[in-house]
Structure 1
Amino acid sequence: MSVDLGLEGARALVTGGTKGIGAAVVGALREAGARVVTTARTVPAGAIEGVHFIAADLATAEGCADVAAGVVDRLGGVDVVVHVVGGSSAPGGGFAALDDAEWFRELNWNLMPAVRLDRALLPGMIARGSGVIVHVTSIQSRLPLPESTTAYAAAKAALSTYSKSLSKEVAPKGVRVVRVSPGWVETEAAVAMAGRLAEQAGTDYEGGRKIIMDSLGGIPLGRPARPAEIADLIAFVVSPRAGAATGTEFVMDGGTIPTV
């Protein structure tokens, strides 16, 4: 972003920062002058200049503890935390396909990393009287697809409710907590999914995109969001220019949610 966001020297943690939205957020914050630590389960192929990397499985308590300690070790503390890590591996087939293991997997991937890292890093923010936390939720929390996203949507809804409650608790102590809720975003994984659907349907990539958009009830904008668009929104939200934004949810879904 060409606008000065006042993030020069800010210390930031971005989870899930090697692909998709997370990688775009890392790039946007670095461009704005922030010092960034990011995480994923595996070390990326190429190092990113000025970005510290911690390999950890954030679906585990041990992985979250390693990242929290690593952030303090590398940056001396943190001013901005952006929780991007998440996703779903649950099978299709509706509620009956979801056993306890699938439910716990979705919660441990989409809710608990934020809970654990916030618990570890918030005390430092509160002691300084400043900080920003962004929880990346999903419009699935309001627009679940019964065939395939029930557990994921429920986990994201839990994250959203947790985020709202946390914002009310820590805003008087100088820490802002905000949610960013994307719709369908054309990440590498989304491109691969559209390709698979296109192949199964005997159509081209644009046809595969349309299948996904139709499953969501349509996207009035006519296309999915781009990772850089979500990242630019997050970079603004964590900046002093959005200093009065807390406890709210910013939706970027191309108009997918059809209600007010």
Structure 2
Amino acid sequence: MTKLSVNVNKIATLRNSRGGNTPNLLKVASDIQDFGGQGITIHPRPDERHIRYQDAYDLKPIVHTEYNIEGNPIPKFVDLVLSIKPTQVTLVPDAIDAITSNAGWDTKKHKGFLKEVITEFKNNGIRTSIFVDPKKDIIEGAAETGTDRIELYTEEFASEYIKGNKAAVEPYAQCAQVAIDSGLGVNAGHDLSLDNIKFFKENIPGLLEVSIGHALISESIYLGLENVINMYLHRLK
């Protein structure tokens, strides 16, 4: 079964919009795990517009499943991860002013940098993953950095799937197999939803984990958080 890691950034966004502590991020993260979620993902950004750096520390004793911290490995982020030592760190090359992640790493161009950062994390017992576009040469480059896993950036699949273009999954399936053949684990995330997750799961070999936030929290407004988590778990079996 593919693990479901729930990204709680949107909970923090809602909390921050009023300046108080409602909804309570720590309570929501705890409830997600009680409802069956198999991991908690956060993506702190330098401006702390949703997840704050303090949240990352506060969540550490709350997360008893898998704790995944995503972000661009600027020095402040690297220090945060090394201090917390989450289960996994996912490296994402987003710009400081990016609304959301919109591209994967060029693993050939940034091979040396990625290898240096990944080595430091792995020396501290932290599993590493690289956010990548579904391109075979990029996956092959990822294997040369020493990373444990890749996370396939699935926005293009999602946007094509909603148009009825199911063939859009093919590059992802091919790249997942390249990753497996290279000894890498396969994760995926971005715009995956209740509508497309079952099809994606069925067509991607060796899919270990999906990280879902925006769609899952939005769907929960209508269907309820516990119900939605269980709907995802059912589709991921």
Q: Which has the larger radius of gyration?
A: 1
Q: TM-score range by the shorter chain?
A: 0.3 to 0.5
